[in-house]
Chains A and B, each alone.
Chain A
Amino acid sequence: MASFLRYWLRWPSLEIIMAVPWAWPLAETFHFIGLCLLVGIVGMFDLRVLGIAKDLPLASLKRLLPWGVFGFVLCLVTGLLFVLGIGANLYNDNAYDVIARDPYLQLKLLFIVFAGLNLLAFYLTGMARRVDTLGKGDDAPLLAKVIAASSLFFWMGVIVFGRLIPEGL
């Protein structure tokens, strides 16, 4: 199993891209730009659900969310560049070994999964539709607020553990 994963996680041969001297800082910069877009726009949506700036109708604020998704894609692509491929990561390790060893990377990935499940819950519980109908001055249902607060918590956790990844390499 381990050798299978080692093989497949090595498959995207990114070392040619990441061997360019400025590729690593460039990818990091875009990771940060993506992070700001993602956490800023999703965070703004969450805070409105929690009751800040209640005069914002949520159906219209939702239209900013594609830029948050764009931020997530930026982070995903650059994040894969950091981890995948021999020589792509700082210590010339296989992605499998890096993921298996680094507790902060594991926690970060776990928190991204939590944030995803939280988003799934937002839709499955019908809160996404309920929240859509909230106009100027309307208060969100308690469950929607719990989901919004969880979202803030998980994304903050992703930032914290992401920042700590070099400590666990």
Chain B
Amino acid sequence: MEFLTWLEHSGFAMTIKGSTVLYELPLVFHAIGMAILVGFSTAVYLRILGVASSVPLAPLERFFPVMYAGFWINAASGVLLFSLYPIKAVTNPVFFIKMGGVVLAVVCLRRIKHQVFGNRAIHDTRVVAPADKVLAGTALFVWLATITAGRLMAYHGIAGVEWSAAFAVSVVAVTLVLAGFAAARILGGSSPSPLDVHDLPVTER
């Protein structure tokens, strides 16, 4: 705590906080990194869950370095933002929910990389196992929770806002995802149910 107090008042932190440009820079990068990491991984997860199932899985592996770039942009800008208001962060339970979410999300991403893309068989048959879909669905949910927590960090101390908003977001988000799959099914039938055991190889379509 002593160290964090020192950090919060260090010349480094005070200089950045005193300058609009220097303070907005990490915030801007944090939003861009989020869009890249969450956005690209979400596209891959949706594909694993059966959206746009004509997209071959194997080439999507080329986007993992892009996601990692997004991660490192956010790790760097996140550490910088933490160093500006460390006390505010560590006294906010939502901050730890967000950090836990980030750790879980990265674990999910690495496991999917290994489990889905490490399997050479997908190059030929593009089989998606039920376990892969569970993992992708979990990863999507973790991103929703992490983004919610990240946004709610700004509302720390405003009574009742955090938990009710988090609950509302979870409910609406799950509804949105389910509605998305239902709509896709009704509209085109291009995406099989997320519970389908296997995606058909392209030759059988």
Which A residues are within 8 Å of any B CB, using their own CB? 21-22, 25-26, 28-30, 32-33, 35-41, 43-44, 47, 52-57, 60-61, 63-64, 66-67, 70, 136, 156, 159-160, 162-164, 167
Contact = CB atoms under 8 A, between A and B. Distances in A.
Given A29-B148, A60-B55, A63-B54, A21 B47 contact: no
B39 interface: yes
B73 to A, nearest CB: 12
A26 B165 CA distance: 6
B90 interface: no
| Minimum-distance CB pairs A-B, first 4 | A40-B39, A63-B52, A55-B59, A53-B62
A22 B148 contact: no
Contacts of A159: 28, 31-32, 35
A43 B41 CA distance: 12
Interface residues of B, number: 51
Given A60-B54, A159-B32, A167 B165 contact: no
Interface stretch (B100-108, B112-120, B153-161): B153-161
Contacts of A163: 24, 27-28, 31
Contacts of B190: 63
Interface in B58-75: 58-63, 66
B165 A52 contact: no
B40 interface: yes
Given A61-B52, A64-B55, 19 more contacts: A21-B160, A22-B168, A25-B162, A26-B172, A29-B169, A33-B147, A36-B34, A36-B143, A40-B43, A41-B43, A43-B40, A53-B60, A55-B56, A55-B58, A60-B52, A160-B28, A163-B24, A163-B28, A167-B20
A38 B35 CA distance: 8
Nearest to A60: B54
Contacts of B62: 52-53, 55
A60 B60 CA distance: 12
B88 to A, nearest CB: 17
A39 B39 contact: yes
B40 A70 contact: no
Interface in B1-42: 20, 24, 27-28, 31-32, 34-36, 38-42
B179 to A, nearest CB: 10
B117 to A, nearest CB: 12
B156 to A, nearest CB: 11
B180 interface: yes
B51 interface: yes
B134 interface: no
B24 A53 contact: no
Contacts of A52: 62-63, 66
A33 B39 CA distance: 9
12 contacts: A21-B158, A29-B152, A29-B165, A35-B34, A39-B36, A40-B36, A57-B56, A60-B55, A63-B52, A66-B184, A156-B32, A163-B27
Contacts of B173: 33
